[in-house]
């Protein structure tokens, strides 16, 4: 049975990663397949996290927000997962009552964090407030007047934090911060804050040129070696990277060129990509860097799967650069003019042209859990549902393993 879980980041007021919401699907056909109700989806999520993927693979040691239905809460399904790794989300379809309250109290006594999902304010929920840690509010569907009523209702429960979901712009983020929200879910952080003209520094351009060189089928390693040897910081990070248990060395490293040979072209390209995103991500949420790496790995893997292996280096680069405008708060078109990239790569990034443009659209749909669009794009690139999920999970794991070296 295929198991797939999309994840959506939840950031705190400092735009640091607080948790992920995990969204289960048996397939990617639609939100809930006709043959599966919410109850079964919750059961499959718990089963999948226990026996297939595991929380660590998906959440980078952060908490996972997981939806639970009325019946799964009454049956205490959350207790099958560690209380320090999950936030129990009470679905908006759950009806409050004495039986549910008893189940929530038991979970709270067991040390679980409880959240109300897509909260709609009714006085009956006041009985639950002593045991609720987080209230999630759909920013798109909830009026400002209603939000203010909720804020007033929780004044006597200062332990309750507010989470705004579907925040898609920095203006919405700033308004929510002003209202007192503590957590934010949505892709506001992956959009440029204020578009401006920004110069690329010498060190950033050096890494960009290395990335372009390494995107070639046969890169000039002597040229790459000279660039790294002339940068003490880059040399140090390269040597540190080769010490990683990810690689097996038969002898100690003696030269930069030796270190490059230990890595090989593919892993060298990945190493430079980690540094590349870190260089551009100054004062940006770390999750943005992580997303860039996930996108790069996903596009590369998808190229190999769909018969475009000879262009996998270009696919990797396209995924990596796809969030460059958000990293630098500058229009992507302006940034790409400064980089020595082929027209095909620029068109894929700017206009989603060609097969690699479709890769980016598929990846974006996965990130947003837009299942109907995912299904449509899977057919366009000729891959199966199971393969899309596997590539995505593999890209998450790869990015998690390497981000610490940035």
DSSP 355-378: HHHHHHHHHHHHHTT-HHHHHHHH
Residue 43 has pLDDT above 50, yes or no: yes
Span of 90-99, 131-140, 268-277 with lowest mean pLDDT: 268-277
Q: Which residues are bridge partners to 10 per DSSP?
A: 19, 185
The 10s digit of each residue's pLDDT in 289-326 is 889 889 999 999 999 999 999 888 889 889 988 998 88
Q: What is the pLDDT of residue 394?
A: 87
* Model pLDDT, residue 306: 94
Instruction: Give residue 32's pLDDT.
Output: 36
DSSP H stretches of helix in 194-255: 202-214, 221-229, 232-242
Mean pLDDT of the chain, nearest integer: 83
Answer with the residue of higher pLDDT: 391 or 206.
391
- 7-38 pLDDT per residue, tens: 889 999 999 999 999 876 544 333 333 444 45
The angle subtended at Cα 104 by Cα 42 and Cα 113, nearest 5°, is: 75
pLDDT at 403 over 80: no
How far is residue 18 CA from its own chain's centroid? 12
The CA distance from 319 to 291, in Å, is 9
pLDDT beyond 50 at 52: no
Confidence of residue 90 (pLDDT cuts 50, 70, 90): very high
| Closest by CA position to 299, among listed 351, 218, 357 | 357
Q: Which of 76-80, 98-102, 264-268, 399-403 has the highest mean pLDDT?
A: 98-102
Higher pLDDT, 179 or 44: 179
Q: Class for domain 4-190, per CATH?
A: alpha beta
- Dihedral of alpha carbons 32, 36, 38, 40, sign: negative
Whether the pLDDT of residue 172 is over 90: the answer is: yes
pLDDT band at residue 252 using 50, 70 and 90 as cut-offs: confident
**Per-residue pLDDT at 88:** 95
Question: In terms of pLDDT, which residue wins out, 284 or 248?
Answer: 284
Residue 34 pairs in a beta bridge with none
Is residue 155 a contact partner of residue 173, using CB atoms and an 8 Å limit?
no
Cα separation, 277 vs 286, whole angstroms: 10
Specify the pLDDT at position 165: 95
Quick one: 202-405 is in which CATH superfamily?
Hypothetical protein af1432 (1.10.3210.10)
Residue (of 188, 191, 403) closest to 297 by Cα position? 403
**Residue ranges per structural domain of the chain:** 4-190, 202-405
Dihedral pair phi/psi, residue 3, rounded to 5°: -130, 130
The answer, as to whether pTM is greater than 0.75, is yes
pLDDT value at residue 49: 54
Q: In Å, what is the CA distance from 275 to each residue of 214, 238, 338, 355?
A: 14, 10, 19, 27
């Amino acid at each position: 049975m295929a198991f797939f879980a999309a994840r959506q980041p939840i950031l705190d007021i400092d735009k640091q990663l607080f948790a992920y919401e995990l969204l289960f699907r048996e397939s990617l056909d639609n939100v809930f397949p006709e043959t599966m109700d919410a109850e079964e989806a919750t059961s499959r999520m718990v089963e999948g996290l226990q026996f297939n993927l595991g929380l660590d693979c998906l959440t980078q040691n952060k908490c996972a927000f997981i939806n639970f239905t009325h019946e799964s809460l009454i049956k205490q399904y959350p207790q099958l997962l560690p209380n320090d790794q999950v936030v129990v989300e009470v679905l908006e379809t759950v009806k409050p009552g004495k039986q549910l309250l008893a189940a929530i109290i038991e979970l709270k006594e067991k040390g679980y964090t409880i959240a109300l999902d897509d909260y709609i304010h009714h006085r009956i929920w006041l009985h639950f407030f002593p045991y609720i840690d987080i209230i999630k509010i759909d920013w798109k569907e909830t009026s400002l007047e209603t939000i203010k009523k909720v804020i007033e209702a929780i004044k006597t429960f200062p332990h309750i934090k507010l989470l705004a979901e579907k925040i898609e712009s920095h203006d919405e983020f700033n308004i929510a911060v002003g209202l007192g929200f503590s957590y934010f879910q949505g892709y506001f952080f992956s959009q440029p804050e204020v578009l401006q003209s920004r110069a690329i520094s010498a060190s950033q351009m050096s890494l960009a040129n290395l990335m372009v060189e390494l995107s070639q089928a046969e890169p000039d390693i002597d040229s790459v070696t000279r660039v790294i040897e002339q940068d003490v910081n880059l040399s140090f990070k390269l040597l540190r990277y080769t010490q990683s248990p990810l690689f097996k060395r038969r002898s100690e490293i003696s030269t930069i060129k030796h270190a490059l040979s230990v890595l090989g072209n593919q892993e060298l390209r990945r190493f430079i990509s980690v540094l590349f995103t870190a260089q551009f991500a100054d004062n940006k949420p770390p999750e943005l860097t992580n997303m860039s790496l996930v996108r790069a790995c996903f596009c590369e893997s998808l190229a190999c799967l769909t018969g475009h292996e000879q262009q996998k280096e270009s696919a990797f680069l396209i995924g990596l650069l796809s969030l460059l405008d958000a990293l630098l708060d500058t229009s992507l078109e302006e940034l790409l003019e400064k980089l020595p990239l082929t027209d095909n790569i620029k068109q894929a990034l700017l206009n989603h042209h060609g097969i690699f443009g479709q890769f980016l659209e598929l990846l974006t749909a996965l990130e947003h859990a837009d299942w109907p669009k995912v299904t449509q794009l899977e057919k366009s690139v000729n891959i199966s549902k199971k393969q899309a999920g596997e590539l995505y999970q593999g890209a998450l794991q790869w990015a998690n393993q390497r981000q610490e070296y940035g």
